[in-house]
Amino acid sequence: MRISLVQGDITEQPVDAVVNAANSSLLGGGGVDGAIHRRGGPEILDECRRLRASHYGGGLPTGQAVATTAGRLPARWVIHTVGPVYSASEDRSDQLASCYRESLRVADELGIESIAFPAVSAGIYGWPVEDAARIAVGTVRSTPSKVGDARFVLFTPDAYAAFEQVIRL
């Protein structure tokens, strides 16, 4: 798997799937989640509502992933994953790693060849970006997958720099 970095907007990535740092309701929110729903259009929300009604009435569990259409995004699929809220007193790094493993599992089930990841949990969920980068890159590197192109799309220069530091290791 080729792993690369892009500084920019994940909603503009011409890949098979973009990963959404979703909230458990699957009904949209702020940050990456809000941007994906706004740009992708109502088709994404409609499919999320159907998934919620049929499988995830209590919400998608942290660390899990599920796919929907990408609506008007240049991608074909959106893989929604719920990252953990950062806690200095409780180690939730396994839950964060699970977001990336589960996203790759869903990608393999769909035959996806290219995928774009955000820095899951490193925004409003408060995960320190340097640690989020270490977990994200390490997990994607070590997870067996048929995906050929995995890119991390980072919105801010600080996030890009943190991921670039980890990629070099």
19-55 residue pLDDT tens: 999 999 999 889 999 999 999 999 999 999 999 888 8
Of 25, 27, 71, the C-alpha closest to 45 is 27
Domain range for 33: 2-167
Over residues 74-118, the pLDDT tens digits come to 999 999 999 999 999 999 999 999 999 999 999 999 999 999 999
**Overall number of domains in the chain:** 1
Catalytic residue positions, numbered: 33
Query: What's the whole-number average pLDDT of the chain?
Result: 96
Q: Is residue 110 classed as helix, strand or coil in its secondary structure?
A: helix
Over residues 86-95, the pLDDT tens digits come to 999 999 999 9
How far apart, in whole angstroms, are the C-alpha atoms of residue 75 and residue 128? Answer: 28
What is the CATH classification number for the domain harbouring 108?
3.40.220.10
